Amino acid sequence: MNQFPEKLSGMIAAREKNQTFRQLSAMGGTIDFLSNDYLGFAKNESLFSKTFQLLLKEGVATNGAGGSRLLSGNHKLYGILEPLLAAFYKADAALVFNSGYDANMGFFSSVPQRGDFIFYDELVHASIREGIRMSHAKAYHFPHNDIDGLKKKIDINVNKSETGDKVAVYVVTESVFSMDGDTPDLKALVAYTKTNGYYLIVDEAHAVGVHGTMGNGIIPQLKLEKEVFARTVTFGKAFGCHGAAILGSAGLRDYLVNFAKSFIYTTALTPHTLATIIAAHNFFKEFGKEEVLKLRENIVYFKKELTGHGLQRHFIPSTTSIQSCVVPGAGKAKSVAAKLMDKGFGIKAILSPTVPEGQERLRFCIHSYNTREELGLALKLMATYMK
């Protein structure tokens, strides 16, 4: 059948009309302000070599897992990786998923039960939203990073006289938000949820490898790991590889193995992927602190240059590696991005529906390997294009 449904054609046409149509394009040859490879691990030749050395050491010479982990795919490297992750991130247990999307989908679609409540920050990642949508719990969003707004939402929607041991309240946030680069008051959230017996879930995807004394995220940095019900950590960003894990209690791990469909019904990660994750965490222990220091110096310099060019009013306040310049209007945002791309800077416009209409932006991802010349010139050009 060559026909394409008319409704779907209309949706594509609408995207083309409002300039939000997505297309795949080859990348490379530009100065990287686009990738999540914050520390350069994805391209590090020493890490690449250490991965193969680990495979040789463990006598692993297979290409694929051959099935799900509950069938044939639970190969020996999982037994090395998951205890390593639990120790590295200061958690009781870790369960590896194929991606951060799979981890959040599996957790939120299976853990909150019918009659439970979920309160999530309005800017959480799409994978969290989709997982919540598949849950039978009642779900409400609260204003971004607004703990008073969260309290009001809970007070309005949760009748405490009706809640008990069989009804759970889950509060969901991120430690570094992927589009704004900002962070919530995690200590205040922990104090509030702990006092009320609620369960706090924190996605640390953009924090691990970048924050924490050992790159293990903001939650361990604040010594809050015992107060958080679950954390999501991913390995496709600062650690430069692929995959993710849910961190929590041994009971949570057992529950997810039994009920998280995105874990149960999928082929396990390949031995090479797991070897890369193991090698990346060991590599961080040796060389990560040096790269994190370079990254932090670049962030400080970027923000200094940003102020020097009078651009601070366009940028969302952030002290992280994600610095977002709001350029309202899809056309304007794409135009500025195209001009920067023509000058050799890999930057793309972030458009609706990823961000709200009127909040279109150019997201600068700062890396340890960006030079000061690159940082300064990018902002100098940005100041010209924003006039």
pLDDT at 26: 75
Element (H, E) at 175: none
Banded model confidence at residue 41, pLDDT cuts 50, 70, 90: very high
Banded model confidence at residue 103, pLDDT cuts 50, 70, 90: very high
How far lies 254's CA from each of 246, 248, 260, 262, in Å? 12, 10, 10, 14
pLDDT at 27: 72
Contact yes or no for 139/120 (Cβ under 8 A)? yes
Question: Which among 264, 344, 293 is positioned nearest to 73, based on CA atoms?
Answer: 264
Q: Which tokens belong to 34?
A: 């686009």
Contact yes or no for 321/299 (Cβ under 8 A)? yes
Question: Which among 47, 82, 56, 22 is positioned nearest to 274, based on CA atoms?
Answer: 82
What does the DSSP assignment read for 332-386? HHHHHHHHHHHTTEE--EE-TTTS-TT--EEEEE--TT--HHHHHHHHHHHHHHT
Q: What is the mean pLDDT of residues 273-283?
A: 97
Domain ranges, ordered by start, for the chain: 19-44+287-385, 65-269
- The pLDDT tens digits for 324-349 are 999 999 999 999 999 999 999 999 99
Element (H, E) at 67: none
Encode 35-49: b = buried (16+ Cβ within 10 Å), e = exposed.
Answer: ebbbbbbbebeebee
pLDDT at 29: 73
Given a cut of 70, whether residue 162 has pLDDT beyond it is no
In CATH terms, the fold of domain 65-269 is Aspartate Aminotransferase; domain 2 (3.40.640)
pLDDT at 165: 63
- The pLDDT tens digits for 175-204 are 999 999 999 999 999 999 999 999 999 999
pLDDT at 159: 76
Mean pLDDT of the chain: 95
pLDDT at 28: 74
Given a cut of 60, whether residue 163 has pLDDT beyond it is no
- Tell me what percent of the residues of the chain surpass a pLDDT of 90: 90
Banded model confidence at residue 161, pLDDT cuts 50, 70, 90: low
CATH class given for the domain over 19-44+287-385:
alpha beta
The pTM assigned to this predicted structure is 0.94
- The pLDDT tens digits for 125-152 are 999 999 999 999 999 999 999 999 999 9
pLDDT at 160: 65
